[in-house]
Amino acid sequence: MTGIRELARHLDISIGTVSRALNDKADVNPETRERVREAAARLGYSPNQSGRSLRRGKTDLVGVIVPTGQDQTLINPVFLSVLDGLRRRLSEQRLDLAIFLHGHGEELFGSLRRVTERGLVDGLIISETQHVDPRIDYLIERRQPFAAFGRSLSGGDHAWVDPDFAKAVESSIEILYGLGHRRIALMLPVGETNYLHLIFDAYLNAMQKRGLLLESGFVQRRAAAESGGYAAGEALLAIRERPTAILVSDAIQSLGLYRRLNDTGLQPGRDVSLIGILPEERAQILSPALATFQTDWTAIGVRLGEALISAMARPSLAPAERAKASSALGAVPAIQTIMPVALRAGESIGNAAPP
């Protein structure tokens, strides 16, 4: 790679002139500007990003905090699609994307605090948003531009993007109710991730709306793993009047549920109806195919990028000052988006009618 000094020496002009030409300054004549650009492209000129960042007070870098661990399933084809959409949108603003891993068992603010306080990025994306998420309050207090992949009860007017979990649950109950099901169960992973609360609340609302009683044991909270699905299935089948339909909010749990049903001689779609609230490519190997709700995850990534760009364009003010100054400064409002979902057909719904 050629630096600015080598480029200036090659052209036999000053470093200042080269810098102004590359930055489209008006005091450089068009011929010199074109000559500098051609030489830069030919010689493989690469600007010193550290120096540029120091001078401009910007890194042109966006960070994504990703949790890791043995039971962590966030890095999957779905999340990779989100990252691809995010990268595409950020690249339009000449922003690069960096992944920062948050280790299993690491203190909640560990990686987040290091990235933020060292000024490594201009903006942040946080994922696995919790029902009450102190990371959001921390970032607002630090005046760090960010967007959340998921809603939360924490924080004030911050940017977030989330799929429409409530619509997926309501549509599932409507379909099952229409097939004649009245005993409908729900399987949930253990945890405080906010989407689990959204799914549970939507399930209660949909059941109450149709006058359906919530039977004891019909909500099973288990580990987000195949073993958790097996254990949940075992508990549901042990109920005297077992459920005739089950909503699965973690598709990996469905692997264990299928195994437990097969062990009992029950077939999904014939003896019990199943619907998955979230997609998971590994669950599509099941037979019969699991019906799941889908959304355009790449579009979610694009929207997440737009939300962060919006947050980065807002004035860097303390929360108490922001409301007072926003109209005068023409602040860009925070983007808050619920993305649509659609049911992907699968034989696990079938025409299973309650016995």
- Highest average pLDDT, of 26-30, 36-40, 265-269, comes from 265-269
Is the pLDDT score of 59 beyond 90?
no
Question: What tens digit of pLDDT does each residue of 128-138 get?
Answer: 899 999 999 99
Q: pLDDT band for 317, please (50, 70, 90 cuts).
A: very low
138 touches 170 (CB < 8 A): no
Cis, bond preceding 288 (omega within 30 deg of 0): yes
Structure tokens at 240: 């005297």
Q: How far is CA 276 from CA 97, 252, 264, 284, 298, in A?
A: 31, 10, 21, 11, 20
- End-to-end CA, the chain: 72
Q: In whole angstroms, what is the distance from residue 314 CA to residue 186 CA?
A: 41
- Look at residue 284 and tell me whether its pLDDT is greater than 90: no
Distance (Å, whole) CA 328 – CA 310:
17
**pLDDT score of 179:** 92
Average pLDDT over residues 205-213: 95
63-78 confidence digits (pLDDT tens): 998 877 655 545 677 8
Alpha carbon distances (Å) from 309 to 6, 245, 278, 302, 334: 35, 43, 27, 11, 10
**What pLDDT is stored for residue 103 in this prediction?**
73
| Tokens describing residue 283 | 């669950």
Burial class (CB in 10 A: 0-12, 13-18, 19+), 159: buried
Q: Per-residue pLDDT averaged across 236-242, rounded? A: 94
Residue 346: pLDDT band with limits 50, 70, 90: confident
* Rounded distance between C-alpha atoms, residue 325 and residue 307, angstroms: 20
In this prediction, residue 50 carries a pLDDT of 45
Statement: residue 107 has pLDDT above 50? yes
Q: What percentage of residues in the chain have a pLDDT greater than 70? A: 86
* Residue in 272, 279, 240 with CA at minimum distance from that of residue 258: 272
Distance CA 341, CA 149 (A): 16
Residue 260 above 70 pLDDT? yes
Q: Which of 108, 148, 112 is nearest to 127 (CA)?
A: 148
Task: Identify any residues that bridge with 125 across adjacent strands, giving them in sequence order.
Answer: 64, 147
At 32, the amino acid letter reads T
Tell me how far apart the alpha carbons of residues 216 and 292 are, in angstroms, rounded to a whole number.
Answer: 25
Tokens 């077992």, located at residue: 242
* Residue pair 256/226 in contact by the 8 Å Cβ criterion: yes
Would you say residue 273 has pLDDT above 50? yes
54: pLDDT strictly greater than 50:
no
Q: Which of 117, 136, 153, 128 is nearest to 65 (CA)?
A: 128
Per the DSSP assignment, residues forming a β-bridge with 62 are 97, 123
Cα–Cα distance measured from residue 259 to residue 226, given in angstroms and rounded to the nearest whole number: 9
Q: Quick one: 219 exposed, middle or buried, by C-beta within 10 A (0-12, 13-18, 19+)? A: middle
Q: How far is CA 336 from the centre of its chain?
A: 13
